Structure 1
Amino acid sequence: MTALTPQNTPLLGFIGFGAMATRMGVHLRNAGYGVIAYTPSGKSGDPAVEILPTARAVAEKADVVIACVPDDEALEASMYGENGALVGMKAGGVLLNTSSVSPEATDALLAAGRAKGVTVLDAPVSGSTPEAEAHALVILVGGSVEDVANAAPIFDTIGKLTIHAGPSGSGAKLKLVVNGIMGAGLTALAETVSYGLASGLDRSMLFDALDQVAVISPHHKRKLRAAKTGDFTSQFPSRLMQKDMRLLVDAIARQAIPAPTLAGALQVLSLGRHAHPNDDYSAAIAIMERFAANDA
């Protein structure tokens, strides 16, 4: 397979073109790739990108297809059926699935691609919209060494680092691990902040102190700073964080591994999804603050 450079694969077709994909698309266009897309709404955040009416139409026209959809259901709707991307792809084509979906959906797409002679790489990304904009995403890829190397020019264009997680399916599994740590860390912060406030600590002092200690990751410090000011502008919406934790808890249960911490975190994130589905998932901190104020 020839490396997927702008010279060899000039046109990339996105299936799903939301907040993350539009930012990836900017980097790819700046590198010399052409970009087209399909979105269920028919709208694009980038007026320079042509939006086609179906996923199939994108796949028929593009040299490489990049899926970037929110969940298993959206992946199924856009990949299969008479207007799905797989129908439009030809043998020898390449499909890069950057979506965060279940291992089962990942395996099903791989099998469907193989049946058509299409190379499918599961390549979810670690990072939110600030990382996507700053070319700071980490791409977590499952697939053969050769296929991952051939796709490297695209991955290098949208991210700062590509991790080859192992054979097909490994990228999707690693993404669940990463997001599980992220979600559980945020819920631990939300609960301990709630305790600090309920016990009488000054709110500004508490948030400022937590911003200085080494035990909190830079990602979660960013969430704390947003929560301090009540700014829950979405970088990673609550509905998607809860979805990823739900997929992880389900996957762990299938392995019969006890994970009470993650199961508990899912409940807090479910509160966040219920109350603030489209706000950033750090809104869970505000929910727990209301408990501290006896205003839940």
Structure 2
Amino acid sequence: MPHLTPENTPRIGFIGYGAMASRMGDHLRAAGYTISAYTPSGRSPDPTVSMLATPRALAQQADAILVCVPDDEALAASMYGDNGALAGMKPGTMLLNTSSVSPEASTELFASGRKAGVIVLDSPVSGSTPEAETANLVILVGGDPENVAEAAPIFDAIGKLTLHAGPPGSGTRLKLVINGIMGAGLTTLAEAVGYGLASGLDRSTLFDALDQVAVISPHHKRKLRAAKEGDFASQFPARLMQKDMRLLLDAAAREVVPVPTLAAATQQLSLARRLSPNEDYSSLIRVMEKIVANDD
């Protein structure tokens, strides 16, 4: 199978075309690819993108499929059945699943693709909308090395680095590890901020000091700077972060790995999801500030 270059594979079909996927699509169009999409709502943030009625219809006219859906259920709904993408894909074409889903969903999709003669790579991305906007995503890929190499031009158009994590399913597992660290780090930060404010530290001094120290990641410093201004516009919504933490807890339990810290962080992020599901997951900082403010 030839490399997926714009010259010989110009048509990429997106299943899911929201905040992340539409930014990826912009970069792929700039690289010379033609983009079409399917969404359950039939709507796209970009009116210039051709929308198809079903995943199957999209797959029938695409040379490669890129999937960006929120969870296992959405993946299954778009992949399987008479109107699913697998029913319309030609043997030998490639399906790149950038969604954050369970390892079991990735394994099932790989097996189903193999039966249909379709090449499936689990390829979730590390990064939020700012990284998607600037093509600075890190793509975490599970699959055969030769297939990863074939997909490299697509990955290069949307990201700064592609990491081949191992055999099928490995990209999904690595994504859960990364998001677990990200989610637990934010909950620790939110709780520490709560203590700092309750102890009488000046709010601006506290936030500015945390922005300067090496123990906090650049990602979490970006969240802190936005939180200082009360900005919780969604770059990674709380509902998706809590979902990924839940998937990680289940995956760890299947491997009999104790993860009490991650379990506690998931409870905190469940609170953030309950209160503001579509705001950024860093809205947990606001929750802690409100708890402290009402502590007298």
Instruction: Bin the TM-score by the shorter chain.
Output: over 0.9
Partner residue of 1:90?
90
Partner Cα separation in structure 1 for residue 214 and residue 32 of structure 2: 41
Partner residue of 1:2?
2
Q: How does 1:261-272 map to 2 (within 5 A)?
A: 261-272=261-272
Gaps of 5+ in 2: none
User: Aligned to 1:62, what secondary structure does the other structure show?
Assistant: coil
Partner residue of 2:78?
78
User: Aligned to 1:278, what secondary structure does the other structure show?
Assistant: coil
Partner residue of 1:172?
172
Partner residue of 1:247?
247
Partner Cα separation in structure 1 for residue 82 and residue 295 of structure 2: 51
Partner residue of 1:145?
145
Once superposed, which parts of structure 1, at least 4 consecutive aligned residues long, lie more than 3 Å away? none
After superposition, the CA RMSD in angstroms is: 0.9
Displacement of 1:112 after TM fit? 0.5
Partner Cα separation in structure 2 for residue 204 and residue 37 of structure 1: 45
Displacement of 1:295 after TM fit? 6.2
Displacement of 1:188 after TM fit? 0.3
Q: Counterpart of 1:143 in structure 2: which amino acid?
A: G
Partner residue of 2:60?
60
Partner residue of 1:287?
287
Partner residue of 2:24?
24
Partner residue of 1:113?
113
Displacement of 1:91 after TM fit? 1.2
Partner residue of 2:181?
181
Partner residue of 2:99?
99
Q: 1:220 to 1:22 in 2, by over 3 A?
A: same
Kindly provide the CA deviation profile for residues 165-218 of structure 1, in whole angstroms up to 9, marking residues without a partner as x: 001100000000010000000000000000111111111110010000000000
Partner Cα separation in structure 2 for residue 251 and residue 65 of structure 1: 27
Partner Cα separation in structure 2 for residue 64 and residue 295 of structure 1: 55
Partner Cα separation in structure 2 for residue 295 and residue 280 of structure 1: 25
Q: Counterpart of 1:60 in structure 2: which amino acid?
A: Q
Displacement of 1:45 after TM fit? 0.8
Partner Cα separation in structure 1 for residue 51 and residue 265 of structure 2: 38
Q: 1:13 to 1:295 in 2, by over 3 A?
A: farther
Q: Counterpart of 1:23 in structure 2: which amino acid?
A: R
Partner Cα separation in structure 1 for residue 295 and residue 143 of structure 2: 49
Partner residue of 1:212?
212
Partner Cα separation in structure 1 for residue 294 and residue 111 of structure 2: 52
User: Aligned to 1:95, what secondary structure does the other structure show?
Assistant: strand
Identity %: 72
Gaps of 5+ in 1: none
Determine whether 1:201 maps to 2:201: yes
Partner Cα separation in structure 1 for residue 176 and residue 125 of structure 2: 11
Partner Cα separation in structure 2 for residue 100 and residue 257 of structure 1: 21
Q: Counterpart of 2:251 in structure 1: which amino acid?
A: A
Partner residue of 1:276?
276
TM-score normalized by structure 1?
0.99
Q: Counterpart of 1:7 in structure 2: which amino acid?
A: E
Question: What number of residue pairs does the alignment pair up?
Answer: 296
Partner residue of 1:223?
223
Q: Counterpart of 1:208 in structure 2: which amino acid?
A: D
Partner Cα separation in structure 2 for residue 180 and residue 219 of structure 1: 14
Q: Counterpart of 2:24 in structure 1: which amino acid?
A: M
TM-score normalized by structure 2?
0.99
Kindly provide the CA deviation profile for residues 106-145 of structure 1, in whole angstroms up to 9, marking residues without a partner as x: 0010011011010000000000000000110000000111
Displacement of 1:48 after TM fit? 1.7
User: Aligned to 1:120, what secondary structure does the other structure show?
Assistant: strand
Partner Cα separation in structure 1 for residue 61 and residue 46 of structure 2: 19
